[in-house]
Amino acid sequence: MGRNGMGKTTLLRSILGLLPARAGEVKVRGVDMTRSAPHAIARAGIAYVPEGRGIFSGLSVEENLVMAARPGIGGKRDWTLDRVLDVFPRLAERLRHGGQQLSGGEQQMLTIGRALMTNPDVLILDEATEGLAPLVACEIWAMLRRLRDAGLSAVIVDKNFAAVSAITDRNVVLVKGRVAVQGSADELKRDPAMLQRILGI
């Protein structure tokens, strides 16, 4: 978490190999992948849900999902088309619709579903509820909780402290590209003055 311009998206893009890291290391299962290509990091079990969604508007919902389908590490296929549609029933109703015909919330569901079709070990989400109506955002948070309860690890960047901290085990707040504070939601909530200062809540 962090205010705008504090380096959250830059950090994610560095983890994913989309930007060169200036310092530090990116390790996946203990293997240094700091200078690895984005496709190698994806193959290591990391899936990305970018800010702005990035769906293929000329493809149908089904085509957007199936084009990403592949086994995960060790050949696991926990996330099939049927399972994704079970988590996102609204997508099941719109399988033949083009990506451009979906609402913002449905496009976000599609983006998350497409990432799940890669059978990842870790899901990275950048501003998962940005620009969505409150009711739709609540639906996305409920789905993310369901994914967490299913055992999927996630790194979530979002400005909504209450929503993020309700489903996280660990929280990290960035200020000017550095870790300002980290801990469980309960630990952070014990210092409301600090939260006000660094997050404006």
CA distance 16 to 181: 23
State the maximum Cα–Cα separation within the chain, in Å, rounded to a whole number: 50
- Segment 22-70, tens digit of pLDDT: 889 999 989 999 999 999 999 999 999 998 778 898 999 999 999 999 9
Host domain of residue 68: 8-199
CA distance 2 to 159: 7
CA distance 126 to 138: 16
Run of H or E residues at 179: strand 178-183
Q: Would you list the DSSP string of 79-93?
A: --HHHHHHH-HHHHT
- Segment 117-130, tens digit of pLDDT: 999 999 999 998 88
CATH number at residue 80: 3.40.50.300
User: How far is the CA of 21 from the CAs of 11, 26, 44, 141, in angstroms?
Assistant: 8, 9, 18, 30
Answer whether residue 194 is part of any domain. Answer: yes
Give the angle subtended at the CA of 124 by the CAs of 75 and 122, to the nearest 5°. Answer: 30
Answer whether residue 125 is part of any domain. Answer: yes
Answer whether residue 29 is part of any domain. Answer: yes
Answer whether residue 96 is part of any domain. Answer: yes
pTM assigned to the model: 0.91
- Structural domains counted in the chain: 1
Answer whether residue 2 is part of any domain. Answer: no
Q: What confidence score (pLDDT) does residue 199 get? A: 87
Answer whether residue 1 is part of any domain. Answer: no
CA distance 84 to 139: 15
